[in-house]
């Protein structure tokens, strides 16, 4: 089945074909680091990590660029609130953002350009738009002349000029209420750079046109971001870029992630319902949050609930236990001499699960459709393990765990090669668990609980069933 992607530009689900065969050039709008990274941000970047990982799994080479907007009105306001130099704000919150995406196992983009490092390129781009008749100077600022670009509104499907109004705080300076700033005249007490039009700083939208084209070329394959960026940000990017380069479409596929809501409402400071990622990390492992954020279809709104995280934690623990149990089987001596059963039937079921998993992801990266196959796989694999499978069967299960994890990205710590020292450690833990099991069978619960408690202190978590105890190491 060919990969199909929903393209915001056309409103259609299209067969994915990059401009250059086997190479995908992808730009994702990055953060404006003026405050803590919240779970809405985390959803967007986790989804684009899923997209990148799945494209790579399908054999594409992906070149991924994500900007950092390190100068912006919000940053300036935040610096005034905190009474600190403006540079300290993006520095602090960029460090937090990078720490969070590392914990969420989001692959680092190949390039993360910052606005302040591309001022010269931005000025040259604006000069080009002026020369081509798409921009004008007014009161020391430069504005894009929207009327000069005939396709304006094609991304957001806004056909009427009244729907284009933006940046209304500077209406008197603009020819039309829907024109937007490319360069903002400096204000007292705010950061500025020299330009042919006097001191000032870039507008919001111009940075992405400049930095994406610098690293990906005049046309590229995927441009992504949150649904809230469709208008005006991405609409304005298209206008700037297609006007400057004279190419259509500037980007082949536009992909947007739906809103993350709390009890059906968008997160906002006024409602007091913003949840920073680090608050979630106090209660749940990053892998659990990642699995939760991946569990829904990316284009649909996702209503955040703590109950949903609890369910994700259950699935995560089942995946970890399964992985560790398969590893133990593969470590055991003489495993290949065990009496087996119908390997073909097992392989057939695993193949069916794999097919369903891939077909779901080929349908616009639809993890909501793929997750039932993850659950089905875990249940089936656990059932197989109950019968002490022969080596080839355990190997089949492990190979699919690894393959699935390329996309899920939650089992990396449990899939690293085992050293001789780790093998000895596992044998020691197995011996302790067997001793504890003996105490449980003798109903000496005080001793068995003490052993559980002592193991937990060093990161060994036990799972008791009626007949046996399994364990994992928590990292």
How far is it, in rounded angstroms, from Cα 89 to Cα 91? 5
How far is it, in rounded angstroms, from Cα 338 to Cα 151? 68
Calculate the CA 38 to chain-centre distance.
13
Q: What pTM was computed for the model?
A: 0.88
DSSP category for residue 336: G
Q: Show the tokens assigned to 254.
A: 């536009």
Residues 322, 378 contacting (CB under 8 angstroms):
yes
Residue ranges in the chain modelled with pLDDT below 50: 337, 339
Closest of 177, 179, 237, 171 to residue 204, by C-alpha: 237
Neighbours of 78 (CB within 10 A): 21
Domains present along the chain, CATH in parentheses:
4-257 (3.40.50.620), 417-475 (no CATH)
pLDDT in tens, 405-459: 999 999 999 998 666 656 667 777 877 888 888 888 888 888 788 888 878 877 7
pLDDT of residue 193: 98
Residue entry with tokens 């616009």: 364
Neighbours of 36 (CB within 10 A): 17
Closest of 168, 173, 229, 230 to residue 200, by C-alpha: 173
**Computed from CA positions of residues 329, 376, 40, 256, in that sequence, does the dihedral angle turn out positive or negative?**
positive
Neighbours of 169 (CB within 10 A): 7
pLDDT in tens, 296-316: 999 999 999 999 999 999 999
Q: Which backbone phi and psi does 459 adopt, to 5 degrees?
A: 90, 15
pLDDT of residue 165: 81
pLDDT of residue 234: 98
pLDDT of residue 335: 52
């Amino acid at each position: 089945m060919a990969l199909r992607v929903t393209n915001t530009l056309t409103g259609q689900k299209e067969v994915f074909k990059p401009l250059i065969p086997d190479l995908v050039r992808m730009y994702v709008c990055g953060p404006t680091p003026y405050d803590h990274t919240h779970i809405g941000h985390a959803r967007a970047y986790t989804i684009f990590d899923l997209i990148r990982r799945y494209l790579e799994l399908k054999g594409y080479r992906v070149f991924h660029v994500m900007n950092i907007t390190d100068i912006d009105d919000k940053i300036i306001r935040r610096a005034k609130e905190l009474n600190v130099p403006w540079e300290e704000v993006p520095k602090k919150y960029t460090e937090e953002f990078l720490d969070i995406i590392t914990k969420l196992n989001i692959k680092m983009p190949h390039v993360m350009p910052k606005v302040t490092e591309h001022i010269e390129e931005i000025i040259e781009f604006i000069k080009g738009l002026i020369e081509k008749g798409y921009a004008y100077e007014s009161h020391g600022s430069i504005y894009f002349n929207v009327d000069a670009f005939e396709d304006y509104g094609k991304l957001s499907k806004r056909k009427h000029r009244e729907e284009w109004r933006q940046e209304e705080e500077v209406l008197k300076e603009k020819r039309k209420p829907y024109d937007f700033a490319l360069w903002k005249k400096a204000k007292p007490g705010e950061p500025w750079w020299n330009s042919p039009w006097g001191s000032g700083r870039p507008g919001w939208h111009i940075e992405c046109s400049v930095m994406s084209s610098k690293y990906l070329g005049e046309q590229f394959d995927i441009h992504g971001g949150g649904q809230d960026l469709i208008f005006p940000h991405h609409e304005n990017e298209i206008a700037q870029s297609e006007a400057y380069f004279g190419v259509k479409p500037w980007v082949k596929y536009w992909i947007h992630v739906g809103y993350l809501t709390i009890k059906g409402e968008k997160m906002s400071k006024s409602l007091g319902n913003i949840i920073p990622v680090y608050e979630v990390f106090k209660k749940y492992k990053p892998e659990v949050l990642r699995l939760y954020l991946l569990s829904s279809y990316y284009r649909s709104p996702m209503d955040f609930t703590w109950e949903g995280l609890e369910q994700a934690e259950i699935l995560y623990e089942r995946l970890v236990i399964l992985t560790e149990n398969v590893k133990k089987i593969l470590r055991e001596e003489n495993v290949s001499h065990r009496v087996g059963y119908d390997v073909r039937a097992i392989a057939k079921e695993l193949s069916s699960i794999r097919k369903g998993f891939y077909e779901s992801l080929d349908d616009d990266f639809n993890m909501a459709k793929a997750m039932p196959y993850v659950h089905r796989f875990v249940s089936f694999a656990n059932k197989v393990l109950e019968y002490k499978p022969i080596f080839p069967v355990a190997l089949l299960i492990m190979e699919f765990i690894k393959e699935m994890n390329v996309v899920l990205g939650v089992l990396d710590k449990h899939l690293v090669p085992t050293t001789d020292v780790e093998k000895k450690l596992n044998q020691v833990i197995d011996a302790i668990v067997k001793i504890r099991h003996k105490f449980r069978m003798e109903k000496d619960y005080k001793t068995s609980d003490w052993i559980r408690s002592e193991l937990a202190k060093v990161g060994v978590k036990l799972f008791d069933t009626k007949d046996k105890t399994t364990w994992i190491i928590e990292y």
